[in-house]
Amino acid sequence: MTTIRICTALLFLMSAASAAANRQTVLTHYLTAAQETPSAERGRSLWNRSGIRGRNCTQCHGRDLRRPGRHRRTHKPIAPMAPSGNPKRLTDPKKVEKWFRRNCKWTWGRECTAQEKADILQWLNTL
């Protein structure tokens, strides 16, 4: 019984550690193309910045990123953006890139720069 419990705890710790390592890898990918060290403070203000036609990132992801969001148009729920509320978040480079491309275009009318993505990830990773 105790062995099973210890194994479960170890597995949990190992998967949490590898998710954190994957988030770091995703961030490093953008950092190689960014000009400056990433800033969580800049990331937070980018997230709240108003884009085209008054759009912004919180409109679908919500104000409290530890809680689920809701798609502005389809009203479908969106899982929490904060890794603390959703350990799979920001661990898959293809998924991160795909949604940055879509959402930056929709919200800001253009793609985000590598610097902006690095800043936003730096901030999200603290949540």
Residues 10, 101 contacting (CB under 8 angstroms) = no
The identity of residue 87, as a single letter, is P
Q: Does 20 bind ligand HEC (CB under 6 A)?
A: no
Would you say 27 or 104 has its CB closer to ligand HEC? 104
Q: For ligand HEC, what does the binding mask look like between residues 37 and 76, x meaning CB under 6 A?
A: ------------------x-x-xxx---------xx----
Residues 91, 106 contacting (CB under 8 angstroms) = no
Q: Does 79 bind ligand HEC (CB under 6 A)?
A: yes
- Residue 77 in tokens: 């729920």
Q: Residue-wise over 20-43: b if at least 16 C-beta within 10 A, else e?
A: eeebeebbebbbeebeeebeeebb
Would you say 66 or 71 has its CB closer to ligand HEC? 71
- Taking CB under 6 A as the binding criterion, the range among 2-10, 16-24, 34-42, 96-104 that sits at the site for ligand HEC is 96-104
Binding residues for ligand HEC, rule CB under 6 A, total 22
Work out which of 103, 113, 114, 127 binds ligand HEC, going by CB under 6 A: 103
- Residue 5 in tokens: 């419990």
